[in-house]
Amino acid sequence: MNVKQFANELSAHRAQIEQLMRRRLPVIVGRMAKDHYQQNFRKGGFQNRGLQRWKQTRRQTSGMTSAAGQYGPLLSGRNHLFSSLKYVPSDFRVLVANDLPYAAIHNWGGMVNPTVTPRMRRFFWAMYYQQGGGKEKKGSPSAQFWKNMALTKKKRLRINIPQRQFIGDSHELNQRINERIENEIHKIINQ
């Protein structure tokens, strides 16, 4: 098929192709993007010209034997960040986003400065006792960490969050989207 024949086929199916681009493709592409970004969570890294693994978390390297120690970076029992990925299709475009307040700091990395409140101190003490701390024994290194957090004199903490990008431009995703668009157009033309 030469270029002129292809142009004639496109003009003959113009209404169908416009309907595809306006309504169906934003939904298809949004679903593909959401699935791709959720797969990043499962793989423990960002897929862009190969898998770029995320830095391991402190709970992974501490040797915790509980279920919480077995989850990968950015994953938990609730998977709130994972399940908050969404896509919003509209005419000729789709928005893929995560609206959680802490999504951006995990995606790009940076410094956070939370205020130490009495409620946080109670949580630190609870974690200390949960990790085996107490009067009669010294406890594990993780218990000592929680004790130090509970006894800190600081009013604000400086916590560095490393970049663990899970959403953004991905070469592999773009390739799969382009292939899918071509297939959908070929289906319309070859009817």
**Single pTM value for the model:** 0.81
pLDDT tens for residues 86-105?
999 999 999 999 999 999 99
pLDDT over threshold 80, residue 107: yes
Which of 183 and 70 is assigned the larger pLDDT? 183
Structural contact between residues 9 and 68, judged by C-beta atoms closer than 8 angstroms: no
pLDDT, tens only, 69-82: 778 888 888 889 99
**Average pLDDT value over all residues in the chain:** 89
Domain spans of the chain, in order of start: 3-107+166-189, 114-157
Q: What is the pLDDT of residue 136?
A: 63
Q: Are 166 and 74 in contact (CB under 8 A)?
A: yes
Maximal CA-CA distance, the chain = 86
Residue 38 CA to residue 170 CA, distance in Å, equals 13
Distance CA 125, CA 119 (A): 10
Distance of CA 41 to the CA centre of its chain: 6
Closest CA to 28 of 84, 93, 97, 83: 93
